[in-house]
């Protein structure tokens, strides 16, 4: 009688349900991280779009007009601060999914996943606690997909009656920028149309294109992921 050869079972003795759960969660985490990093990299702003705008390759420079005072938003400075933040973030190597379900590789992969998730959590936390600042605004992330600009104090800005003075901040800003490559975008509160008309008059006089958007008095200024959309009118 032939001796029956016993087949050796190479399957791991551990239950693979937990492995599949972790693998599924990992894919979800990777998708979330990819979306989040893409959103942060855009570092752009959301403002209600005006239909009557023209396309332009010029760079917008944003101003808020509130209480008939003109306030430079300086989102370029915040872009610089966020760039400094991203350059200082830790590197988080993406774990390689093992080609087999060997028990040793399984345990090693679990360890890698835990380290990766911990590293990404630190990155997300760095964005959560980010606090940027310009001359007039405190800036922080809003729901991790936008930036909210909050005035440092209620009385910031330059009176619209001062705009035409040669030593006004607005006049100095117009002299610093270039009407051939830049245009001015005004976010106008409902109490400040007189201030906007004066600022637009000075901007036109200096040769600049102008765009503007009305905004409710209590609506915060949030630059988000849909693009800075105050176009030239």
Convert the pLDDT of each residue in 96-152 to its tens digit: 887 777 788 888 888 888 999 999 999 999 999 999 999 999 999 987 788 999 999
38-86 pLDDT, tens digit per residue, is 444 444 333 444 433 456 688 999 999 999 999 999 988 999 999 999 9
- Comparing 183 with 3, the larger pLDDT belongs to 183
Return phi, psi of residue 97, to 5°. Answer: -70, 125
CA–CA separation, 106 vs 101, rounded Å?
Answer: 6
CA distance 202 to 174: 9
pTM of the model: 0.69
Contact 160, 199 (CB under 8 A): yes
In this structure, the number of other CB atoms found within 10 A of the CB of residue 196 comes to: 21
Residues contacting 68, CB < 8 A, separation 6+: 159, 160, 191, 192, 194, 195
């Amino acid at each position: 009688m032939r001796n029956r050869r016993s087949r050796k079972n190479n399957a791991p003795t551990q239950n693979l349900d937990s492995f599949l759960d972790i693998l599924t969660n990992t894919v979800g985490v990777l998708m979330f991280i990819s979306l989040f990093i893409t959103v942060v990299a855009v570092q752009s702003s959301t403002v209600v779009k005006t239909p009557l705008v023209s396309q332009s390759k010029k760079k917008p420079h944003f101003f808020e007009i509130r209480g008939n005072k003109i306030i430079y938003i300086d989102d370029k400075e915040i872009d610089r601060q966020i760039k400094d933040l991203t350059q200082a973030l830790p590197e988080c190597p993406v774990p390689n999914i093992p080609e087999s379900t060997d028990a040793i590789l399984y345990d090693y992969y679990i360890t890698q996943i835990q380290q990766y998730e911990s590293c990404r959590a630190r990155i997300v936390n760095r964005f959560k606690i980010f606090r940027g600042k310009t001359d007039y605004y405190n800036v922080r992330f809003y729901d991790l997909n936008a930036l909210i600009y909050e005035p440092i104090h209620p009385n910031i800005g330059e009176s619209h009656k001062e705009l035409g003075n040669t030593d006004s901040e607005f006049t100095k800003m117009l002299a610093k920028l270039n009407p051939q490559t830049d245009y001015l975008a005004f976010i106008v509160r409902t109490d400040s149309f007189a201030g906007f008309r004066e600022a637009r008059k000075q901007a036109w006089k200096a040769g600049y294109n102008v765009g503007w958007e009305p905004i409710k008095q209590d609506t915060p200024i949030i630059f988000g992921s849909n693009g800075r959309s105050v176009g030239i009118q």
